[in-house]
């Protein structure tokens, strides 16, 4: 069994009604819907943070050198750029 914790959540009535409606459409409980929504938000923020950290480590000069180099393979069939 997964470890869980409770948290009393206060929502405006209109928001709670919308969440209840959407949870019913999705075939889930209100609790499961809210938990998934929070998980999606946490994932989005973690992803944004990850790419921010990667951006700070980027080396634009190395990228420019790689993009300017010659050689490699021609595009495979179906990978050509449109005219």
Q: Is residue 60 part of a domain?
A: yes
- Per the structure, how many domains does the chain have? 1
Q: Is residue 80 part of a domain?
A: no
pLDDT digits (tens, 9 = 90+) for 55-72: 999 999 999 998 888 887
Q: Kindly state the tokens that stand for 8.
A: 């009393």
Q: Is residue 25 part of a domain?
A: yes
Q: Is residue 64 part of a domain?
A: yes
Range of the domain at 60: 13-68
Q: Is residue 61 part of a domain?
A: yes
Q: Kindly state the tokens that stand for 9.
A: 């959540």
Evaluate the CA torsion angle 70, 75, 80, 83 in order and state its sign: positive
Angle between helices 13-26 and 30-57 (to 10 degrees): 90
Q: What is each CA distance from 29 to 3, 9, 20, 46, 75, in whole angstroms?
A: 18, 15, 8, 26, 49
pLDDT digits (tens, 9 = 90+) for 8-51: 999 999 999 999 999 999 999 999 999 999 999 999 999 999 99
Closest CA to 34 of 13, 11, 14: 11
What pLDDT score does 4 carry? 86
């Amino acid at each position: 069994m997964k470890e869980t914790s409770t948290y009393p959540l206060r929502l405006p009535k209109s928001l709670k009604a919308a969440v209840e409606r959407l949870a019913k459409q999705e075939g889930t409980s209100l609790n499961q819907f809210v938990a998934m929504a929070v998980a999606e938000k946490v994932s989005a923020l973690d992803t944004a943070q990850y790419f921010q950290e990667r951006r700070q480590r980027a080396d634009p000069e190395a990228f420019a050198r790689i993009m300017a180099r010659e050689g490699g393979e021609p595009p495979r069939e179906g990978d050509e750029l449109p005219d």
